Every structure is written in C-alpha cells, then in structure tokens.
Amino acid sequence: MMSRRVAGDGLVTGPPSASGPASGGVVTGADKDMSTELSGTPGPQKPTSTGAAKGNWRTGPWTDLLREYGVYIFLVGLVVYDVVATQGFTSVAAFRSLAVEAAPLVLVAAGQALAIGTRGIDLSVGSNMALSSAVLPLLFGFSVSQSTEQRSAALAIAGALAVTTAAGLLSGAVIAFLDVQPLIVTLGMQLALRGLAESLTSGNQIMMNDGTLQRLATGRVLGVPNMAIVALLAAAICGVVLRYTTFGRRVISIGGNPRASYISGVPVRSSLLVVYALSGLLAGVAGLLSSAYLGASDPGDIGQLYELLAIAAVVLGGTPLSGGRVTMLGTVAGALVLQLLSNTFVSHNLQPTTATMVEAVIIVAAVYFQKRRGN
Amino acid sequence: MALQLEDGRSPQAAVLEAQGISKDFGRVHALSDVSFALRPGEVHALAGQNGAGKSTLIKILTGYHAPSAGRLFVSGRQVHFSGPRDAQVAGISTMYQEVNLVPLRSVAHNLFLGSEPRTRWGLVDQRKLFRDARDLLDRYGMGAINARVDLGSLPLGIQQMVALVRAAAANARVLVMDEPTSALNDAEVRTLFSVVRRLVQEGAAVIYVSHRLDELFDLCHRVTVLRDGRVVGESAMSEITRQELVDTMLGRALAQMVKRPKPETTVEGAAPALSVTNLHGGPKVRDVSFTVRPGEVVALAGLLGSGRTETVETIFGVERSRGGEVHLGGRRLRPGKPADAIDAGLAFLPEDRRADGVIPNMSVRDNILLTTMGRMSRFGFVKRAAAERVVSELMDRLSVRASGPDQRAGELSGGNQQKVLLARWLAAHPKVLILDDPTRGIDVGAKAEVQSIVAELAADGAGIVMISSELEELLAASDRALVLRSGEVVTEIAGNSLNEQNIIKALAGDPAGTGSISATAAVTPRREHVTPRREHVEPLHDGPVQE
C-alpha cells in the first residue's frame, strides 16, 4: 500500500505549516457553493432509498410533509372525523376522558422513546405497570378483606415507584454491564415482573378507597384532569431532558453510534442504566394512574399489551426503531392517536375484535408512510 | 492548461452518455449542465473534490437519482431510469467500497446470487454452481480463491474482487467503481486492477472514482474533472500531468507540499507528554514502548495488519491492554477507559470515520460537543452560549463546510465529516493527539487543510502520534517514525535518515535495508529481524492475468 506512493511527486500539496492558521481556508475560494452540499460521502446506497424518477409519489413534496408531520396530520384528521361523525365527541367531557385514558400510555411511551433512542427497547413496561399496581395496596395496607387505608398515601406511592424504578434499573444493569440484548433482557423482565405482581396480590383484584388516589383520578386543575397533567408534564420533562441536557444528548449519541460515543468518552453504561431506570419509573407512574382510575389494584389486567402500544406510539410519532433520533412531541401525538382510534371504534360500536384488527392495519400503514424519514 | 472541454461528441460512440445533466436538491444545485461520455473499452476517471458532484453524477448514471434536467443515452438510445434496477437491466453495474453481498454464504453462491443454476426440480444445482464459479474465477486469474468458503471469511479486498467478478458475470457493459481500493492493500489493488483491465479488454467500460491520483494515472485512460457541480475539464490521462489535474480539481494552482519545519526550540530536553511502556494487548500489540514530547510529531508506520491501529486503540483504551502502562503528563491512564484518557488530555481520531466517529443523525454542533459537553454544562444543562461559541469558532478554524451547526453530520462530505471529528477533539484542548490515518478517503483540499491543522497543533505544543497509509504524508508531517511489524516496534527512524527509502525498507523487513539503516547514527534498531508478514493474497500475485 505504501510502496505505491513512492512515485509520488508532491501530489499532496498544502500551504507551508508556518504560513498561518488554516482558517484562512485552503480551498474556500473555489468552493463557495459547496457549503450546502447535500450529496454525502461516496458509499453504498441502500437499494430501498430509491428516490427515483418521474412521478414517483414517494419523493413528492406532499409525501415529505406527510413523513415529517404525518402523526399530527393523522391526529387532526381523526379529531375532525370524530367531530363530524361521532356523537357526543364535541363535549368537554369526551375530551377529558380521552386525556385521562391516554395518560398511562403517554407515560410508558415516553419511557419507551428513551429506550428506543439508545437503539434499545423496553418490553417490560406493561408488567412494570402491573407491579406498581400490585405494590400499592401492600404499602397502603389494603387487602382483599381490608379496604380502608392504614398508612400515608405519599409513602405508598413513593414505595411503588421505587420498586418499579428498581426493576428498570435491574434491566438496565444487565443490558449495560452484561451486554445482553435489550430485547431479551426486557422480555425476561416482562414475564418475571408480571409473575411477581400477580403473586403479590395472589392474583386478586384489591379495591383501594383512598382520597389521594381518588383526587388523582378525578381531580382537575383549571379544568384539566390531574392524570393528563401528570402525563404531559412527564413527557415534557423527558423532551426537555433529551434536548437540552448532556444526559439527553448522550442518549441520542449512543443510539446514533454506540462505539463512536464510547470512544468520545460518553459514559455509555451509566447512561443506559439511567434510561431503563427512567422507563421503569414512568411505567410505575402509569401503573399508579391506571390503578387510581380503576380504584383498585389489578395486576392481572393492568398494563396488558402496553409495551406494544407504547412501541407503536413511539414509532408512529416518527422515532426510528434504529435509534439515534427521538421526537417526544411525536410520541405524545402517537399515543393520543392510538387512544383516539380505539375510542372512535368503541363509540361506533365496532366489535372489539374487529377494532383491534383495524387498529393493527392502521398502525402498520402509518409506519409504512413514515419510513425513510431521513433515516 | 491541458484540459479542454471536448464538444460535438456523437452519442453513438459512447456506451453511456449524459448530456446537459442538472440536479437540484431543493435550492442546492448539485450538478449544473454536466455532460459526460463513456466509450466502450475505456476506464474513465471521475475526479474532483468531495462535494464536487461525483457522487451525484454517479447516482444519476446508476438510476438512484433522476436528473432535474438533461438526457441520458445508453449506446446512443435515450433512456429514463426510474430506479437502480433499470440501470442494472441496461447493463450498468455499481461496485462500492463496501461489499453488498452475503457474508455468510459461499463465494460461489454470492457470484450467482439471484441467478443460481437450477435443477429439474427447481432447486439450486449445487454442482453446476460450484463448477461455474470455479470457471469464472479462473477466467479472471483468481483461481486461488476457494469458491466454497464463506465470503465473509475472506479479506475485504478479495470480497471486493468477488463482487467485481460477479458484475462481470452479469454481463455488465458499464462498471461503476466508487473508491474501490480504500480498504485494499497493495497486492490486492494490483489484482483488482488486472481484473479491471481484463474486463475492459473484453469490451466493458469502467467509470472509476478514487482519491488516489496514482491509481487514476495507473489505470485510467481518460478523466473528467468536476468542480462545484460543473465539468471543468476532460482529457486523456496521458496528456495531463498530476499537477495540472490537481490544479483543475481545486481550481487554482497549489504550492508544492512543503515539509513541516523542525520545531525551533529543541524538544529533546522536555519531559515526555505521552509515554507508553511495554504495552501489550491482543495478538497485534506486543511490547510497544515509545514516548512523545510536546510539540513533536511521531509517526507510527506500518503496513495494514502491522498492528498500528490496534496499538493506538490500546493506548487510548478502546481495546483492553494486557500489560504495560500509558502515562500522560505524569498521570497513569486506566486501561480500557477512553473517558479517563480524554480526561487526562488525550485525543484519538479513529481510522474508520463512519463506524467509530460520526454520529450521522446528530447535528454538526452536537457531534463537535460530544467530548466536551460535560465540561460545558451547568446542572446537566448544556450552556448554550458557551457551546455555540466553541462550535462556531472550531467550524471557522477548520473551515467546515456545512449549511450551519444544525445540519446533520451524516449529510456532509467525507472531508467535512473528518473536520467535524477533528473539531470534536480540538474542543477538548488535548495535550496529545493520536490521529489514525486522518486524511484517508478525503479530497486533496480537505487533506491539505487537515495536514496544516496538525502542523499547527504541534507548533502550539501538542504531542502528536500519527498513522498514515500515505508515506509521503507521513514523511512530510513527522519528526520521527516508529516502524511497526506484527505488533512490534522494529525500528525507529529519525533525523536525516527519515526518508522514503529507509521507511520502505524497514516496513518490508528487508534485512539488507535494516542493515543499511542501522549503519546511520540516528537509527536505533530495536529488535532483530522478525518473520515477514503474511500477505492475504499471496497466491494471487502471479495469476495468469497479471501483466
């Protein structure tokens, strides 16, 4: 390789190093127009990235718009449809109930978005919701026979969240330090946590009559349901953290190129640990809200399939599963779309079985339209 | 100037011709009125800096992009490609630097991927498959390759040749080769070229893109030069000099490369900035010891496979060491901890920009701030004003050409990505920089800029460890060279002995050479002669097609 250069006759030329800073620019004069050059380095193109010729609908300005803002357009379209065609949709109560029902999904989706942002995934969020729900009555002192609280609500809530955070931390530790794939680790946690949750209440539903939980479920501030406030606040915090903090930027860089991040001194392991702990915490809050809304602990049912709904919400919102890019606003919109879709089907008396299938088709179709969003 | 635009070509003569091609991406004009003709039986070089429009032109010729204006002809007939598939059907095949084949299948399966011979029952006819593969490989002088082994088990260079033969087997009339040699060693390049020449003799035409001008002069018949999206010259290769070609690419005359002046003050007495003692790690790092003083540029010379990259990765902590110590400014670095090395003032620009460097989806700003965000934050929040100042300062200093700090790094050309990575490390104000082939695969303009930055850093007192696959660059930049072979430092060359001849001798492990080098005072032979490095492609050297 090197001997080939022997014949070189000064091909590589440059200013004498003593001649001052390079910011003077060696080729700037010739390259004024290159500053916004778009074509990247020479390299293989995925055959899928066929931005092809005449009349290809996939490259038009409309489809670009759809790709970038698809989830919002879809959400608005759905709302418009409901306003026109769904009875009772325009009432304030209907909006409130939508916000309340979507709150747990928004929370787990926010956590899921963090995990997906690092190229990972968290399949344990649904079971972690159940765990949260199962721990609550234990700490409150409720049981199947005992339905008045014995201990402080703050303590019970803090305890439940601590347990779910610890569960997330455990997933994170196995992923970060033992290098096991997130899919496998959290799949294991999904099974284990659901089992743990159900065994804690011996598979029973336990009623919880507690003032704090009731206020959480039904209270409002300035007309906005508390549950919605909690969920949106959490999502907003996640969004700000991702965008403006060193931790958030590191999460994105790990997802974008883990090895380059490591070489650049990014604390990859501790960041992953925190990401899964946060996902556990958010799942805990979601489980808390679901239990409060239900007025009971029901670890057999709470959080079922939420991991998949959360992934759907994240992807629908425009976050690629390949990591390195997260949109929190899109994730919230994705969660709202999923909830609204399901509500719409219910109010149009679609069979739940049919509704699920239609939902599935819509999710896959939506993701299809979004793919190739600059990734 | 020897380069003139040639007008009035007839489309009939060309196997592939582009007339008046323009391509806009939004408001950016990537190509303006580009005409290009490829004749049968020629190897036609496309030259130009990164961002000149080579990639865009190739993507149009191969159907990935549709031109905004202009016409394409294949053998005189106008064509419209609505995708790469159309171009392939028209006989245009593309070979990239990375091999787009299936590593876990055999060479034979890969050669006939998608067109496997079938038995009566519709199953793949394994016997015929291997027989055909054998014949095909023999025909191109690659009989030494075992068609039954998994493609992925072969060196990258061989994989690339398999890809080339595959294209030939598919009766490609036009082969587009985009930087095919960036990962190949010398012998592999020679074999590749002989395959290309064989193909051309058989009537194929080749479009060849490479940053290595040597290769263009070695292999190509004609060259078309692009600059800022326009054709600025076309010529027979034999009619221009290297200097003229470079000038045309850059659009101005460049000074000859000047060797970095020796540091004014003698650095001999200074305490070493970096010292590596008896470092072991993996099979390719064996008992490496050396020191770098402030302001000194030390070259690590070695062929591919000599362990040069492994050595610097072990020093920086990307790879675990198995013994030995690294001290930086008196502080001992914890092995296997890049973050610790960075903290102590070490920087490491990795060889593989794409795999180990760029975070493609992140902005130029975030890419630059990656190493230093922690120092530039309060309560975990990045201090925006301070960060912005650092980013714009570095983008200016390194003349990073991007639409702004918000542009995604993945969208930049290779040279500009490299500058962004360099900026990432400069932001940390390192005491010692390890640069692993910093100018690999970037264009001449960016290359000169990177080289002058390196010289500037050394002048400012930073210690530099540099690896380069270009001997010329190594010689011009460094004060001292350590020659690595099989993971060991075999020789140190400094002072007046630091010249091409001596390094090549040491690299090759030529006993006579080593002898003559050690006769000069400045050279310290560290170790006795070691076993010569085994070449991957030894059996291919004397293939039948080799001229």
Which pLDDT does position B500 carry in this prediction?
Answer: 72
Instruction: Kindly determine whether residue A22 and residue B452, on different chains, have CB atoms separated by under 8 Å.
Output: yes
Q: What is the mean pLDDT of residues B463-476?
A: 84
B455 contact residues in A (CB cutoff 8 A): 17
pLDDT higher at B158 or A14: B158
DSSP string over A277-291: HHHHHHHHHHHHHHH
Burial B259-277 (b: 16+ CB within 10 A, else e): ebeebeeebeeeebbbbbe
Regarding pTM above 0.95, the answer is no
Which pLDDT does position A64 carry in this prediction?
Answer: 63
Relative to beta strand B297-301, strand B323-328 is: unpaired
Q: Both tokens of residue B70?
A: 């202009």
Which pLDDT does position B145 carry in this prediction?
Answer: 83
Helices A211-218 & A226-244 angle (0-180, nearest 10): 80
How many CB atoms sit inside 10 A of residue A277's CB? Answer: 21
Asked if pLDDT for residue B149 goes beyond 60, the answer is yes
Which pLDDT does position B183 carry in this prediction?
Answer: 67
Asked if pLDDT for residue B532 goes beyond 70, the answer is no
In this structure, are residues B408 and B362 in contact, taking their beta carbons and an 8 Å threshold? Answer: yes
Q: Binning pLDDT at 50, 70 and 90, where does residue B524 land?
A: very low
Which pLDDT does position A329 carry in this prediction?
Answer: 94
**Nearest alpha carbon to residue A117 among A268, A263, A253, A220:** A253
Q: What is the mean pLDDT of residues B101-105?
A: 81
B100 contact residues in A (CB cutoff 8 A): 44
DSSP-assigned beta bridge partners for residue B364? none
Instruction: Kindly determine whether residue A40 and residue B413, on different chains, have CB atoms separated by under 8 Å.
Output: yes
Which pLDDT does position A173 carry in this prediction?
Answer: 96
Q: Binning pLDDT at 50, 70 and 90, where does residue B170 land?
A: confident
Q: What is the mean pLDDT of residues B394-407?
A: 88
Alpha-carbon Rg for chain B in angstroms: 25
Euclidean distance between CA atoms A341 and A356, whole angstroms:
10
Q: What is the mean pLDDT of residues B376-388?
A: 87
Alpha-carbon distance A241 to nearest alpha carbon in chain B (angstroms): 8
Helices (H), B206-318: 213-219, 242-250, 308-316
Q: What is the mean pLDDT of residues A211-237?
A: 91
Which pLDDT does position B123 carry in this prediction?
Answer: 84
pLDDT tens digits, residue range B207-255? 998 877 888 888 999 999 998 888 988 989 988 888 788 778 776 544 4
Mean model confidence pLDDT for chain B: 80
Tell me if chain B has a CB within 8 Å of the CB of A14.
yes
B399 contact residues in A (CB cutoff 8 A): 22-23, 25-26, 28
Q: Both tokens of residue A171?
A: 């997933």
- Of the segments A140-154, B105-119, B173-187, B417-431, which one has the largest average pLDDT value? B417-431
Which pLDDT does position B98 carry in this prediction?
Answer: 60
Alpha-carbon distance B143 to nearest alpha carbon in chain A (angstroms): 23
Q: What is the mean pLDDT of residues B258-278?
A: 68
Mean model confidence pLDDT for chain A: 80
Relative to beta strand B346-349, strand B377-378 is: unpaired
**In chain A, how long is the greatest CA-to-CA distance?**
92
ipTM of the complex: 0.75
Taking CA atoms, B543 is separated from A37, B142, B163, B374, in Å, by: 43, 7, 18, 56
pLDDT tens digits, residue range B47-65? 887 667 888 898 899 888 8
Q: What is the mean pLDDT of residues A131-137?
A: 92
Alpha-carbon distance A262 to nearest alpha carbon in chain B (angstroms): 7
Asked if pLDDT for residue A5 goes beyond 60, the answer is no
How many CB atoms sit inside 10 A of residue A49's CB? Answer: 11
Which pLDDT does position B229 carry in this prediction?
Answer: 85
Q: What is the mean pLDDT of residues B27-51?
A: 85
Asked if pLDDT for residue A239 goes beyond 90, the answer is yes
In B157-283 the beta strands, taken as DSSP E runs, fall at 174-178, 205-209, 222-227, 230-236, 274-281
Degrees to nearest 5, angle at CA A88 with A85 and A89: 65
Asked if pLDDT for residue B535 goes beyond 90, the answer is no
Q: What is the mean pLDDT of residues A284-299?
A: 92
Which pLDDT does position A244 carry in this prediction?
Answer: 92
In this structure, are residues A183 and A271 in contact, taking their beta carbons and an 8 Å threshold? Answer: no
Which pLDDT does position B9 carry in this prediction?
Answer: 42
Euclidean distance between CA atoms A163 and A128, whole angstroms:
9
